[in-house]
Structure formats: C-alpha cells, structure tokens
Amino acid sequence: MQIPLLLRHAGWSGRGMGVLLGAIAVLGQAPFHYWPLTVLSLAILFGRLQWTAELDRPGRAGFSAAFWWALGYFAAGTFWIGSAFIERGPEFIPLMPFMVGGLACLLALFWGLGGAYLARARLSGLKAVLAFTAVFTLAELARGHALGGFPWNLPGYIFEAGARPSQVARWVGAYGLSALVFLISAALGQFIFWRKRIWPLAMTALPVVALYGVGQMRLAQADIESVPGVKLRIVSVPFKQSDKMNPDTSIDIVNDFIRASLAPGLEDVTHLVWPEGAVNGLALENEPLLSAVGNSLASVDDTPPVWLMNSLLTEVEQGRTRYYNASVAITFNADGYPAVAASNRKYKLVPFGENIPFMDWMEDVQVPLISTNLASISPADEKRLADFPGLPRLSPQLCYEIIFPGFTPIDLKNPPQFILNQSNDAWFGNYIGPAQHANIARYRAIETGLPIVRAASNGESAMIDPYGRRYKKVKKTGVFHIDTTLVKPLKINNKTKITQLVLLLLSLLTCVIVTTVKHRNMVLRAKITDV
C-alpha cells in the first residue's frame, strides 16, 4: 500500500509535523472546543504510529512520533504558565523557557513511552485501535498521578463542561471520557488510512452519537433546587498580578473588593466569598484589614455576612515557622468585630510556586519563589471536609486542587454538599489558562454531583450546578459580583477513584491480550510457513 505523504515524514520534518499536529489538537480545549480537530489530529498520530511499526527501529521511531506530538500539545496548551514568571518580575523571566519547556517535555515523555510500545507491538486492525486507546489512557493516568500529577487538558475536556457529551463523565469520569476520545480517534485513523471495512467508521460514529444522546437525556431530566436560607455574594475584581504585588496598587485592589462587597442588596447576603489572592499573605494577622472589612459590613447590615476568604496560616514546628495556604471563614458581630470561625488547609500545592523540593534547605539559602508567598508553603496532612458557619458541609479546594479527578474527600455518613473553589487566575495572564481552568473545574461538578461555588481572580467566577453548567456567572466588565442561591447537590458519586482503578486494570488487560494474540498469530504463521 502507498503510504500517504502525511505519514511518511521523518527526521526533523517529521518532528516538526508532530509538534504542529499536537498544537492544533489544543484547539479542542477551552476556550475553543473545536473538538473534531483534536480527534483528527489524534487519528493522524494513530496512522503515524502504524507507519513507524514498519521501520527497522520501530520503538525509537514510535517514541519520536508520540513524543513530538505530545510536546506540541502540552507546549501550546500550557504556554500561559510563562505569565507567572513575567508577572513575578524581570529576574524570573530568564527561567521561563526552561520551566515551561521542561514541563512540556516531562509530560510528553509519558506519551513517548506509549508510542514506543505501540510501534514495537506492530499491531493492526482492531487490535491496533484497542491498543492505542489502552496505551494512551495509561499515559494520561500516569501523568495525572506520577510525581504529584498534573492532569491538565485531559483529552476528555475537549467537550465543554455542561454540554451534552460532557455528561457521560458522571459515570466514567474525565479519564474514562478521555479513553472514549482515544477510541474514536483511533477508529477514525483506521478508517482514513486503511479503508478496507466499514467497522472503523461505525466505531467512530456510534460513540459520538451515544455521547450526545445520553447527555441530552440526562440534561432533559435536570432539576435544579436551592438550599434554603443561604444567599451568596461572589466577588471577583479583575486585576494584574504584578499590580497585586506592588504595595502602591495592592491596597487599591483590596478597596475595590470591599466596594464590590458593599453593593446594594448586602442585607440579604449570608456569605461573602472572595477569591484566592484578593488579600496578600498573612491576612488573619492584618488587623487594619479585618477591622476595615468588619466596620464596612456592619455599617450596612447589623448582621454582617460570614466572610469566606483566603489567607496564609502560621505554625511553629521544631523551631521553624511553617506556612499553610487555607480557606478561612470569618464571622463578625453587630459592631464588626471579627472572629475566625473555621479554616481548611490546602493539600495539593503548586510545585516550585507554593512548594519547592528540599524546602527547608532552599529557604536557608534564600532561593526565591515564583509566588508572592513569604516562604515555601507546607501541605496539609490530608485533605479534609469543612464545616463553615451557616453552610452545609463543604469541600474547600484552593486553586489548582480542583484539577484532580477524585480529589474530593467523601464521608458517606456526613458527605459534602458543595465544593468551594477559590482561585487566583491572575497568575495565568489573559490567555487561555483561565478558561481551561474553569472548564476543568466544572467537570468536577459533573463527576461528583456537587455544585461548585467558584471565585477566581481574573478567571471565571460562578455558581456551577451539578451538571457543570453556569447557574450564575460574574461578568468581567462593569459588575464585579453576583448574588446567588446555593444549588443543592445530586446524589454524590463516591466511585471516581474506583472508576480510575477499573480503567487502569482494563487498559493493562487490553495491552496484555492484544499483544498475546499478536504473538500467537505470529507463531502459528511461522509453523505454517515451516510446513
């Protein structure tokens, strides 16, 4: 068979083609959601891996084909991380290409290993389709968990959260939906490049039809109810992170938050929600700030709302001061006097932003952090649920904690009723990062059946229903807050981690079966040839 020119690219031209195809695949992610482009790009990767299997050194060629595709995908999908270095200051900019490029290379390694396996296995037909699905599902599970994990832009996220195809994540999770994307893409590749039978076309079309059909039925039955007695005011004032780090402009930003909090209708609000980063550093030790907020709220309402904000907490352990990032609930009396009612510490920390390896030694030699923290942040011992005044039980998830499927703690005797996601997306700049973060966060609502109260500086702040839809959203222009009821949850899904384990085992079993069948067929053909 004549190999199509698109699949015959080798050397640096082939690597460049792989990077370009991977970058195009990012257009399936938020904010674009041109998901057919991602599927087509993966279909071409499937064809390239089939071609590399015919070469003399298939493992090396397969690694290269998958690695360069993934490098383009991850580099184009996470380039916005460079904004954090720019916002932090000129001395951090030289580190930007090494950190951003290094992250993309690290994530691409998982795909490269998968490509090497597929090329060496030299599978064809249905076995190749199933193996492609299984191997890259394993690659995504690995990058989502290894070394702390970074499950950003999973292929399943090409379907906008809240839309019909996304609803299937309720049962199979984001990783299961990603496996379906791999299956659809591989079947399409089999049909495009090896059009001998009709089954690849059916394997491409039927899952897509099922995704839309099942999603339509689920959304048609959606019934949204509100928690009585709770009225939230979500405040989200846009700002540049560099202005927030400047003492001359930082106070103006805080004053903007206070003014937005005092907007008409405050007397009906029970809880005031501010995002992460609205206040710098040790906010609980900033008495002028607490007094200003308390007095301002009390001047409008003699029963001030509970203030949900973000602050660093300190503890002295073995002679060393430890810092913890935390969601905090503050109550006020009629005179505006503040009291810390509850807090919940962050467990998943941003590597090299909030937390650095060998942090004690790094602090001793005064290595600067990318973030504005006073020092490296320590993780909580474990992620716990929280009980904040006047609210049903909740799962606070600060910033990047929301990107991990299965992260929400589940207590079946007293389960959470919603997720509180406070984030500082100002670090992401005005590129695609905030939109990706919001889409990923909304998938947690679909998976768990829990609504999400999301306050994100320079990102999407909204009340998100259990179907991943925006129940109410803060507009970025003119209005910096919304008043909303708290949506009730659906029946909680506590099987997300079990689903991931089942998917892991099924993928491993598929790899074993298809390679075993391939080996037996080769042995049989060899015996027949000898005869």
Catalytic residues: 276, 346, 399
For 209, phi and psi rounded to 5 degrees? -60, -40
Closest by CA to 277, choosing from 306, 241, 251, 252, is 241
- Please count the other Cβ atoms lying within 10 Å of the Cβ belonging to residue 51: 23
Give CA separation, 45 vs 40, 212, 358, 466, 503, in Å: 9, 25, 39, 35, 22
DSSP character at residue 54: T
Three-state secondary structure string covering 290-325: HHHHHHHHHHHCCCCCEEEEEEEEEEEECCEEEEEE
Decide if 28 contacts 39 (C-beta within 8 A): yes
Edge to edge, the sheet with strand 226-235 lists 338-345, 320-332, 306-317, 271-273, 226-235, 481-487
What is the identity of the amino acid at 163?
A
Determine how many CB atoms are found less than 10 A away from the CB of residue 155: 27
Going by C-alpha positions, the residue among 477, 524, 441 that lies closest to residue 236 is: 477
DSSP 252-305: HHHHHHHHHHTSTTGGG-SEEE--TTSS-S-GGG-HHHHHHHHHHHHHH-SSPP
Surface-to-core class of residue 405, CB atoms within 10 Å of its CB (0-12 exposed, 13-18 middle, 19+ buried): buried
Largest CA distance in the chain: 97
The H or E element spanning position 343 is strand 338-345
For residue 471 the two structure tokens come to 């129940």
The dihedral through the CA atoms of 97, 99, 100, 106 has a sign that is positive
Residue linked to tokens 């039980």:
393
- Is omega for the bond preceding 31 within 30 degrees of 0, making it cis? yes
Write out the DSSP string of 133-197. HHHHHHHHHHHHHGGG---TT-GGGGSPTTSTGGGGHHHHHHHHHHHHHHHHHHHHHHHHH-TT-
User: How far apart are alpha carbons 258 and 279 in whole angstroms?
Assistant: 11
- Using alpha carbons only, what angle is made at residue 96 by residues 92 and 99, rounded to the nearest 5 degrees? 115
Q: How far is CA 53 from the centre of its chain?
A: 34
